[in-house]
A = this chain, B = another copy of it.
Amino acid sequence: MRIIKNSQQMRSYSLKQKARGRTVGFVPTMGALHQGHLSLVEAARKGADLVVVSIFVNPLQFGPREDLTRYPKNLGRDKKLLQDRKVDVLFLPTAGDLYPKGFSSFVEVEGLSNKMCGRSRPDHFRGVTTVVAKLFNIVCPDTAFFGQKDFQQLVIIQRMAKDLGLPVKIIGLPIVREPDGLAMSSRNKYLNSRQRKAAAVLYRSLLRAREMVESGERAPRKVLRQVRSIIMAEPLAKLDYALILDPKTLEPVKRIRGRVLTALAANVGRARLIDNLLIQAK
């Protein structure tokens, strides 16, 4: 596995490979890799000739009171995991390289970025879209892989790629869960054992939502009342939002029809956790 730390080197390496007719699959991450990331890497390995994974804890997407400085890091372990999956290039850019002196350009997706997580994390998605656009310009991938746990992020990046004509196919892959249903997340490391147990309430509430819809309930308000009460019954969890949305526009639906997204965010201890479930109304 080649390790590249410099943008220009990364770009020329990718272009050289593409000139030889090889396709590039890209998995951008913030490191502290878990099975969710690795499922993206495996999909990239299957779908592209060359696999590039980046690890960059992007300061631009953290708010001033958020967890930038204590975000989990484990580069040694990450390297080994990627090597085992036959990743070709690990791209490790520095903040100084990606954000040169005087940096002041941003890519923003309006509307989609203000709702859901955007409400409690203003500027978060602007930081995400800016870094992803820049990483795309450096890595020049044919295909890029994102997890559906960050469903809003996935929809925003798809919108950005379409709107700005970025020549990258965006692939979203299913959430990978722990045995008790908790969605894998680097931030799960923040949980102590009591909090870790409590965190399973998120997925339990989503399963209850699915059950209700599958039993014929079509009123989002009624489903969400149940979801909220399940989470509020867990004293270690503090709900931020629970919503039933159109999975394309992320607009709340008035009535459940076809496929809907039930999405929620909650704080457990010092971890902000998100989860979602696509539910099909039969």
Chain A residues close to B by CB (< 8 Å): 7, 11, 19, 98-100, 102-112, 129-130, 133-134, 137-138, 159-160, 162-167
* Contact of A159 with B109 at beta-carbon distance under 8 Å, contacts A11-B167, A137-B165 already known: no
Q: How far is the CA of A116 from the CA of B106 in the complex (A)?
A: 20
Distance in Å: Cβ of A11 to nearest Cβ of chain B: 7
Contact B104 A110 (CB under 8 A): yes
Contact B163 A103 (CB under 8 A): yes
**Main SS at interface, chain A:** mixed
Our pick among B103, B110, B134 for the contact of A106 (Cβ within 8 Å) is B110
Contact A160 B129 (CB under 8 A): no
Our pick among B11, B99, B164 for the contact of A105 (Cβ within 8 Å) is B164
Q: How far is the CA of A166 from the CA of B129 in the complex (A)?
A: 15
Contact B166 A100 (CB under 8 A): no
Our pick among B102, B137, B164 for the contact of A159 (Cβ within 8 Å) is B102
Contact A159 B105 (CB under 8 A): yes
Our pick among B7, B104, B138, B162 for the contact of A111 (Cβ within 8 Å) is B104
> Which residue of the partner chain B has the closest CB to A7?
B165
Q: How far is the CA of A226 from the CA of B133 in the complex (A)?
A: 46
> Which residue of the partner chain B has the closest CB to A97?
B165
A104 neighbours in B (Cβ, 8 Å):
109-112, 159, 163
Distance in Å: Cβ of A6 to nearest Cβ of chain B: 12
> Which residue of the partner chain B has the closest CB to A135?
B165
A137 neighbours in B (Cβ, 8 Å):
164-167
> Which residue of the partner chain B has the closest CB to A8?
B165
Q: How far is the CA of A162 from the CA of B159 in the complex (A)?
A: 23
Q: How far is the CA of A166 from the CA of B107 in the complex (A)?
A: 13
* Contact of A105 with B105 at beta-carbon distance under 8 Å, contacts A11-B167, A100-B162, A100-B163 already known: no
6 interchain residue pairs of minimum CB distance: A105-B163, A137-B165, A104-B110, A105-B160, A105-B109, A134-B165
A130 neighbours in B (Cβ, 8 Å):
164
Our pick among B111, B129, B138, B159 for the contact of A165 (Cβ within 8 Å) is B138
Contact B105 A108 (CB under 8 A): yes
> Which residue of the partner chain B has the closest CB to A126?
B108
Our pick among B103, B105, B138, B162 for the contact of A107 (Cβ within 8 Å) is B105
Contact B108 A106 (CB under 8 A): yes
Q: How far is the CA of A133 from the CA of B106 in the complex (A)?
A: 11
Q: How far is the CA of A165 from the CA of B100 in the complex (A)?
A: 10
A162 neighbours in B (Cβ, 8 Å):
100
